[in-house]
Chain A
Amino acid sequence: MVKMTTREKIVSQIETIAKQQEKQIAALDDNLVLTDSGLDSLCFALLVANLEDKLGYDPFTASDDVNFPVTFGDFVRLYEDGAH
């Protein structure tokens, strides 16, 4: 089985949550501004919780000094950096 990358896991979780919450989401490219993604803050809260369960890591609480991501690319990098 091919191991999913962090990015693929994030995309997969976003699609799951969007489906559950019946949200239309924009194409997930790196320049997409998160507030335009179609996900509301509750969706993001669910996403962060689910990713913590899948990846064992929550970059938002791992450090006191978090740069809150603006674009989808920022969001992925936050997790990729934390995974190292």
Chain B
Amino acid sequence: MAHTRPRTLGGILRGAGLTGRRILGVDASVSLDAIAVGTSLAVDRQTLAGRSVLIATDDQMTAALAVIELDGVARRMVLSPPDLRPDYLAAIVDDAEVDAIVSDRDPGTFAAIGKPVVGCGLPVAAYEGAPSEPCATEWVLLTSGTTGVPKMVVHSLDGLTAAITTPPPRERPTVWATFYDIRRYGGLQIFLRAMLGDSSLVLSHAGETIVDHLHRLAASGVTHISGTPSHWRRTIMCATANAIAPDYIRLSGEIADQAILNALHDTFPDAAIGHAYASTEAGVGFAVDDGLEGFPASLIEGGGDVSMKVEDGSLRIRSPRGADRYLGRNAEPLTDADGFIDTGDMIERRGDRFYFVGRRGGIINVGGLKVHPEEVEAVINRHQGVRMSLVKARKSPIMGSIVVAEVVLNDNQPAASGEGWDDALKDEIIHLCRGTLPQHKVPATIRFVPALTVTAAGKLARDHA
């Protein structure tokens, strides 16, 4: 019987051209040449062979190095996102049967967990151990849900990389960057894209201001950047946005409305702009490159690897790029009997396109009529004075809830000096909503705010109270 060796990240790198390619962090930059044959662990990696390992580092760079080193060695790698609440750690270690924690933190941080802690960090040293037979490592990602212990989602390297195609040769070297943390699905996709493609990768850094980050991206010669629409709105609100000159801009993780697609095109006229649909569970569903919000209905009807359908208004996906299962003793089934994952993302067909209208759980109920905050935000965001908006419910003794909006304005407010300009602008926005939306979806009040909160996962913070 033929025995196929599993692909591993280290194996892929050792078989690729690595000249000039680097991973660039805020404090350090490491060449892939060194990473491919080196180690950043305090012990021989073989002591972790066949083990379940939690990678819980402060620095994304050390997480990247540990992932490259342990794929194909450990039985399972659980990637802890940076903002994981410490009180969830014990449950995760328990449920994922973690044998050891790989971390750049003080080992005392994990004293209460009672598992060995393996140090990791720079510099990368030459690996002296013998090569070993690789195993197919489970990659476990945590969901970024807002309540309770995050769910653990099991992927394989093959599934995670199934949407990545070989990029065409380019004149200038490709340098990827992502506003995401690479320990979340959206960021991990870009990390893998950079590793499998012929490119370098610039890591984000939680403590860095957006202005400093943009300067660092510019200095690194970044060509391809990915982030959520909220990340991108924050970027184009910076006077320094033009410091970068990307060839490719990718949006994912939230609904990309026409306003942000147009604003990005205006700010970066030479860049190709695409928005991708992906979730931690379902993987990368599809990418849309025509500059329009929503996606062509032909994607759902068409064949191919990824099957999609709409049931009870939500998008369902069956895909080789999706996760294998949820992990843990009380894990729910990931798919229905036919293998479809319910994404919880509500879509609506208008003409020959589908449009995302919001999350199933985020609905505002106005006297029995449903309103998705996101569909109202998409209309508000079309106003040329608006940079971003948050639509939410206000309790009403008459209708249960009514719709209200908080709006962040952009810098082009010619009338901002005249008296009453803010009321006039509110009227304009309401008028725009009235022209497009049924009455119950039009915000009752609009409040101008200086900023809106964006979560650690790069999404607009919504409190579903």
Contact = CB atoms under 8 A, between A and B. Distances in A.
A60 interface: yes
Contact of B367 (A45, A53, A60, A66): A45
Nearest to B404: A49
B402 interface: yes
B445 interface: yes
Given A45-B399, A61-B397, A21 B439 contact: yes
B260 interface: no
Interface in A13-61: 20-21, 41-42, 44-46, 48-50, 53, 58, 60-61
B28 interface: no
Interface residues of B, number: 16
A50 B396 CA distance: 11
A42 B440 CA distance: 7
B395 A46 contact: no
A45 B394 CA distance: 10
A42 B399 contact: yes
By secondary structure, the B interface counts as mixed
Contacts of B278: none
Top 6 nearest A-B pairs (CB, nearest first) are A60-B397, A45-B398, A45-B399, A45-B396, A46-B444, A44-B398
A58 B398 CA distance: 11
Interface in B394-411: 394-399, 402, 404
Given A20-B430, A49-B444, A50-B445, A42 B439 contact: yes
Contacts of A66: 397
Interface residues of A, number: 15
B397 A42 contact: no
Nearest to A17: B444
A58 B397 contact: yes
Nearest to B430: A20
17 contacts: A20-B434, A21-B439, A42-B366, A42-B399, A42-B402, A42-B440, A45-B396, A45-B444, A46-B444, A49-B396, A49-B404, A49-B444, A50-B444, A50-B445, A60-B397, A61-B395, A66-B397
Interface of B: 366-367, 394-399, 402, 404, 430, 434, 439-440, 444-445
B189 to A, nearest CB: 43
Contacts of A45: 366-367, 396, 398-399, 402, 444
Contacts of A42: 366-367, 399, 402, 439-440
A60 B402 CA distance: 15
Contact of A49 (B402, B430, B439): B402
Given A42-B439, A45-B399, 12 more contacts: A20-B430, A41-B367, A41-B399, A42-B399, A45-B398, A45-B402, A45-B444, A46-B444, A48-B397, A50-B444, A50-B445, A58-B397
Given A21-B439, A41-B367, A42-B366, A48 B445 contact: no
Contacts of B444: 45-46, 49-50
A65 to B, nearest CB: 13
A44 B444 CA distance: 11
A44 B430 CA distance: 18
A13 to B, nearest CB: 12
Given A20-B430, A21-B439, A49 B367 contact: no
A66 B397 CA distance: 11
Scoring A41, A49, A60 by chain B CB atoms within 10 A of each residue's CB, the highest score goes to A49
A55 to B, nearest CB: 14
Contacts of A41: 367, 398-399
Contacts of B398: 41, 44-45, 48, 60
Contact of B396 (A20, A48, A53): A48
A28 B438 CA distance: 27
Nearest to B395: A61
A49 B394 contact: yes
Most central of A21, A45, A48, A66 by chain B CB within 10 Å: A45
Contacts of B402: 42, 45-46, 49
A49 B440 contact: no
A58 B434 CA distance: 26
Q: Which of A41, A46, A50 has the most CB of B within 10 A?
A: A46
Contacts of A58: 397
Most central of B394, B395, B396, B399 by chain A CB within 10 Å? B396
Contacts of B439: 21, 42
Contacts of B404: 49
Contacts of B440: 42
A53 B367 CA distance: 21
Contacts of A48: 396-398
A9 B144 CA distance: 46
Contacts of B434: 20
A41 B366 CA distance: 10
Contacts of B394: 49
